[in-house]
Structure 1
Amino acid sequence: MERANSLLNNTFIYAIGNFGSKVLSYAMVPLFSFFVNKKDLGLYDLFLTSISLLFPVVTLQLSEAMYRWLLTSENLRDKRKVISTGIFSSLILLTIFGLCYLISTYFYSFRYQEYFYLLLIGASLFPIAQQIIRGLGKNKLYSFIGLLNSVLLVFFNLLFLYFLNYGLLGILLASILSYSLSVIACVFLGEIYTYIEFRSYTLKHLFELLKYSTPLIPNAISWWLINAANRFLILHLMGIEANGDFAISSRFPAILAIINSIFMLAWQDIAISKINDNEDVSFVSKLFNQFLILEICLTILLIPISKFLVSYVVESSYQDTWKYMPLLFLGTAFSSFSAFYGSIYLKEKRTINLFTTTIIGGIVNLGITYLLIPLIGLFAPGVGTLLGFATVFILRVVDLKSYLFLDIKWFKLISLTVISILLFLLALKDLFSIHILIFAIGLVLFVSLNNKLFKYFKSFLISKFKFLN
């Protein structure tokens, strides 16, 4: 019970901390469809996709290593060495990349290329600052900074899009400014500056951090192959307007993925520091089985909702994009199952195994997407994403079997997956009565199979309310 309460507490904290920087930035993309055309929306999506690839390469994933080392740093001196080494190294890396980027733009230029680099800097420094605050155990501040980022992002987007009508440039400026001000808040409110000193920078610490973080780079890239590389295949085979359509259809599943990642942050804290014996493994098995049931039931519930989300939230020229969303929702569920097991790799510092499982899934995704796009169009990336993440999940279950054997309820996993696929195919008939029927089925499954979880959640909220009073 104590571990469950700790997990739920941290999940709430991380939910607030990630709402602005992650959830809101993706949730607003459908709303952008009312202010920018398909080509600009497709270009913005490519910017985000490219940054998700460049971030781990440019920063060498030092933020992850800093977080991992700060969790186990026992004194102020060690924390200063970790933070100083990580921050100075990251700034040097961003400067080197900036010089290379400046040279490359002489040979290949594109619209808003200078803003792209500024966006990359903000998107790199903000998670580094957040991971430092998280590693120092300042979870409430982590939440506040995330909330601040939310407010800034909404304010600047309203200013540049609604009042000034800047279009795509306004979206880029809003993100850059919200990142910049949030980083400044992290540095001063989190007193990160007190841990930064030149004499604490050591090559020895850098090599220790890189030994941990370097295998995470190809892992992040291969994860990108599953999550984002489809955009470039769509661009090559179908054009930038099709990429704009896919950008819309993928944004709602992306929000679910980010919500899942918030839970994974809390689970990562538990996995790294508190999973040690057979009793703990029994707890993890129960947790994972409840999580997989919740995820797939939610996917089924979202199948008919997809149609209405697009109808009321997205500009009319994107109305058909809902059809591609259910496969992406299901792929997102398997992505979260893979990430659940991925935390065990981080605990054991087995980041090489983390990479190998992901790269195979990335290859599966790209291969299937490339082969199927000529046959089924934008349904292909959904199929590729689903099979890619399913491959990663199965490989990790097998690879970690000797270390962490979870009693997975395979029958429920397979049967619920099959049901969700059948209901998705039925939904493609696009009849109102069928959408209502699917929603009713999804609601019954969601409530009946998650009854215990709802009861626990209710008791948790009641205890918190009593505590506050």
Structure 2
Amino acid sequence: MSDLKRLLKSSGIYFLGTALNKLLAFFMLPFYTKYLSPSDYGEYDLSLVYVNFFIGIFFIDIYVAIMKFLLDDSYKSIKNYKEKIIFAGFVVFVICLVFYVFGFYIFLTIFDVKFAILLIFLGVITYIHTIYGYICRAYNFSYVFVFSGLFSALIGAILTLIFLIYFKFGYVSLIYSSIISTIFAILIIDFNVKIFSKFRLGFGDFSFVKPMFFYSLPLVSLAFSYWFAEFYGKFCISKSISLAQNGYYAIALKFSALLLLFVQCFKMAWQEVNFSKILDKNMMSDYYTKAINEYIKFLFLGSSFLIIAIKIIFPYLIDIKYYEAFIYIPFCILIYVFIGIYEFLTNIINKINYNKYLPKICIIYLVINVFFITFFIDKIGIWAVIFGFILEYIVACLMIMFLIKKEFIIKIKFINILYFLLFLTTSYICYNLNFKFIFLNLVFLLVFVAFNYRNIFKKVNLFNR
């Protein structure tokens, strides 16, 4: 199967599962916004940021190392190498776990955060599920990964409704349901992939612990930089403005994160193709240049369709007290566009083993973000956080491309400006004009996409090898 077919087929599988998963989450938004005030939702969202921030600090993305090592054919000569890699991955996880629990508990105690033990446990379960998901995909059990996510989302939605409406637990309902549903997802994956059995088979062999640890260590900077920026931005909104404003921002991100659905699906498929791809250095420039330009085009065109869809469904899903959030959505979408490009580039860095440079890059663009937010938060409010994120990831992408230039050159085509302007125009129409103009814009987009992808529509059959 060609790389394009493999990429599209894998992306399609992940999209099917993730899309249905996200739809379930979106059907829950009317209940969230009805039964939770903007302040409560803002406080819940901030709690999740705490969880992800401390995961980013103390866990070192060992799941990426596990997948890379499992897909690396150079270890085939080692008996039971896959089982030994899984065992080594969990050894690193346990080491990180000790520091995570200790550090997170101290933070939650100092700042007197509600539901501290539940938040610590949610972080542990979430990370175990992430490791299981990457192992599942490395063993080519994509369908199991998708099904487990769907089933977990359905269980989570049902439990949330019970806890929120019947028991009236408030926003802790969402924490309870997340923990229970994630445990279900882990059990489904283990039942099908037998990960715990593989762990036992590799038990006691520490030969992969050191190389996997040092491969993963630089990756902590990626998670840390993202979640610290997220943490700092929402912390500033909550303290400098209000928890209610953080609630509006959280809802805007919730809708904008629909683009992240495409980004994550592509990322998962791209990791499988990229880590298993063997290229001569002379071929890398053409290969990655073509790939990233197609990806950028896809992101901006997809974002244009997304903002139209959001404009239509927003009033039906969100309680009127949250309507203020819509104004932030187009620029929040841009955040995820640049995150998508950034993650594409970091996967190339992982492929060519330039991980050691990532911490320096992350420190630079994180400092830019923090200074921007600190200086402008009192002047322009939430916009300081949004523009700080966009600026951060533009700088990050430029620095990583400069780093990749040590091996080969990736050229970003000037025509991508056209796709960017198309997204901005669509956003303006959705915010300022009536549905007649929105409909005309949609028709133009459909024709434009049909023309741009005419060759792919003709030639690509995802179900034939």
* TM-score, normalization by structure 1: 0.88
Q: CA deviation at 1:427?
A: 5.6
| 1:52 is the counterpart of 2:55 | no
Farther off after superposition, 288-297 or 278-287: 278-287
Farther off after superposition, 264-273 or 50-59: 50-59
2:162 maps to: 159
Change in Cα spacing, 1:144 to 1:123, as seen in structure 2 (3 Å) is same
Offset from partner CA, 1:113-152 (integer Å, 9 cap, x none): 2211221121111001111222233223222222222222
1:208 equivalent among 208, 211, 215: 211
1:188 maps to: 191
Change in Cα spacing, 1:212 to 1:29, as seen in structure 2 (3 Å) is farther
1:137 maps to: 140
Q: Could you say what secondary structure the match of 1:414 adopts? A: helix
Farther off after superposition, 401-410 or 233-242: 401-410
Offset from partner CA, 1:139-196 (integer Å, 9 cap, x none): 2322222222222222322332344433212111110001112112222321112222
1-side partners of 2:450 and 2:289: how far apart?
16
Contact 1:293 1:449 (8 Å CA) reproduced: no
1:40 maps to: 40
Report matched runs for 1:334-349 at 5 Å: 334-349=338-353
Q: CA deviation at 1:243?
A: 0.7
| 1:234 is the counterpart of 2:237 | yes
Counterpart amino acid of 1:46?
Answer: L
| 1:223 is the counterpart of 2:208 | no
Offset from partner CA, 1:90-122 (integer Å, 9 cap, x none): 235324533555566655533222211221121
2-side partners of 1:389 and 1:104: how far apart?
28
Q: CA deviation at 1:423?
A: 5.6
For structure 2, the 5+ residue unaligned runs are none
2:295 maps to: 291
2:335 equivalent among 325, 331, 334: 331
Contact 1:301 1:438 (8 Å CA) reproduced: no
2:96 maps to: 93
For structure 1, the 5+ residue unaligned runs are none
Q: CA deviation at 1:226?
A: 4.3
Counterpart amino acid of 1:349?
Answer: N
2:178 equivalent among 169, 175, 180: 175
Q: Could you say what secondary structure the match of 1:33 adopts? A: helix
* TM-score, normalization by structure 2: 0.88
Q: Could you say what secondary structure the match of 1:197 adopts? A: helix
2-side partners of 1:47 and 1:265: how far apart?
27
1:15 maps to: 15
Contact 1:27 1:255 (8 Å CA) reproduced: no
Contact 1:34 1:315 (8 Å CA) reproduced: yes
Change in Cα spacing, 1:8 to 1:237, as seen in structure 2 (3 Å) is same
Q: Could you say what secondary structure the match of 1:200 adopts? A: coil
Q: Could you say what secondary structure the match of 2:34 adopts? A: coil
2-side partners of 1:162 and 1:460: how far apart?
47
Counterpart amino acid of 2:34?
Answer: F
Counterpart amino acid of 1:39?
Answer: S
Contact 2:41 2:171 (8 Å CA) reproduced: yes
Counterpart amino acid of 2:114?
Answer: R
The alignment of Structure 1 onto Structure 2 pairs a total of residues equal to 461
Q: Could you say what secondary structure the match of 1:229 adopts? A: helix
Contact 1:250 1:328 (8 Å CA) reproduced: yes
| 1:251 is the counterpart of 2:254 | yes
1:386 maps to: 390
Counterpart amino acid of 1:368?
Answer: F
Farther off after superposition, 19-28 or 171-180: 19-28
Change in Cα spacing, 1:301 to 1:359, as seen in structure 2 (3 Å) is farther
2-side partners of 1:197 and 1:57: how far apart?
28
Counterpart amino acid of 2:149?
Answer: G
Give the aligned CA root-mean-square deviation in angstroms. 2.9
2:401 maps to: 397
Offset from partner CA, 1:379-431 (integer Å, 9 cap, x none): 22222222221111222222212423234212x22343345446646765x4x
